[in-house]
Amino acid sequence: MSNTAGEQRLIELDISQPIWDRFFWVAPLVLIGTRESDGSHDLAPKHMAIPIGWDNYYGFVCTPRHHTYGNIRRDGVFTVSFPRPSQLVLTSLAASPRCGEAEKPVLSVLPVFPAKSVDGVLLEGGYMFLECHLDRIVDGFGVNSLIIGRIVAARVAADAERIYEGGDQALVHNAPILAYLHPGRFATIDESLTFPFPAGMKK
């Protein structure tokens, strides 16, 4: 079934099923770091991830079926690494399946460095790094949950720091950003334009 809005033809989507694979949408791509019960580290790629409000909270969607959820509920901490486009393959490998309930062997080849404020690791070479204490878990979004952390430490690579004296376009060009285009594609953002905010607009 379709209908029109002006001259645009619209396709009615069946909302009895998830709609998110029926069109492309832009998302960040981050690696969530946690500790397994045996002390080894886990890095899991997530794209349903976003700052929660303007204060220092960060959240992402997960499922209780994943080790990430159980690790965070047990330990109360997690890390967030923002990989660069050049690290796409490494980031993809972090999604490799486990050997049964065992560890993901590929994690041993990912270059990491220790977090400073929580028990965890971060992806070496990324451009932004967050360390979070668990603030809350909101269950019940179908089989998914929203995990929200309070940021207790944050670091940014020197070439990715936004400073008022610099040019934003040059910054994005020189330190491109990796974006995930759901479903199953990615993009490198290396060009940007100033957004035309209305005069007087506030956060």
In a domain, residue 93? The reply is yes
Domain that holds residue 144: 24-160
In a domain, residue 68? The reply is yes
pLDDT (tens, 9 = 90+) of the chain, 203 residues, equals 556 556 889 999 999 999 999 999 999 999 999 999 999 999 999 999 999 999 999 999 999 999 999 999 999 999 999 999 999 998 988 877 665 555 666 677 789 999 999 999 999 999 999 999 999 999 999 999 999 999 999 999 999 999 866 689 999 999 999 999 999 999 999 999 988 989 888 87
In a domain, residue 190? The reply is no
Domain count, the chain: 1
Pull the structure tokens for residue 36. 């397994």
What CATH number should be reported for the domain holding residue 42? 2.30.110.10
In a domain, residue 128? The reply is yes
In a domain, residue 7? The reply is no
